[in-house]
A and B are shown apart, each in its own frame.
Chain A
């Protein structure tokens, strides 16, 4: 079982997040691997453990800081780490990012075929959830997205996905791109031995030229969308907090009535 997991460097959710020149500000001191990608790494590790053989690759694309995301995957138990680091990638939209990831995946796949690519369901900084679909389309592999359960066998993968109107069971031949929800599993914690090993582990550094990707086809220049304005929302004005000393419910009702909400 050979599985590649795509992981993303995202700002710490608890930190103040912001924009610089129309793109999300990402710095190493307050960021790590996107939390929902932990479920993807966990799914890959469990499948390899159950198969009794195989390898897990962690792949990220981004600036120098993004290496923290693949190091986190190594700490959790991934065997290999790849970092596509090229200034020309900056400002890519989801389609540009998918093209770069797909080129890196093909490079791994062509040397030794992969069975699966696993991703998280969304990145907690962007949350568009479009990347897994774009990646499956770009690779022209099977698309099994939003998996709440995942089984692999006999050359197929089968998932159950929970949509608002129905629970769908979907099956498709390998290789497949699978995105997993946080319902699928409970990610493990890194153990001390792996943390120490991850520090010294080699991270493969690839450029767009290594992947045969034309720099002009990705990045801000090729993006179909451009952020033209970004500004922090003002905090809520006239905030009222009362302590209930026997009249809290009446105060709440009065507030709702005054606002025309009751």
Chain B
């Protein structure tokens, strides 16, 4: 899957905004949003928040978890844990990217948040690579991938299933030749 499709999926997540206009509830097919009252926070999907922000019709409020200190804590925890820890959102990378890109003026500490997210991503990706390596060497047939987020799974999609498919092909051929040579 294309990374922008993963991002497309992440844009369904909700985020709080403070609109600077007033409007009644809007009935979207995917659910109703609003009512919008100038100055009062309201939850909308990210795609809408980004669009309103680009038109300068709102201010985006940080996701609760997008806070430099708690992210740094999560980073330390991720470093210490052998397994993957649970992330605050299944789309943490994409959400952070989208919101920080469009609303870095609304979010205090944007730089520290960005660094923390990037660090977490790096730690998790290297962990992922190591475990995939171990998994392939052990010739496993099944693996549990709890707490892996959508973007992380997508980033190993071109490699991991393909490698396993190829291993299966080689094994099948080996078995076939063993039978023949007997």
Genuine A/B complex: no
- Footprint of B on A, CB under 8 Å? none
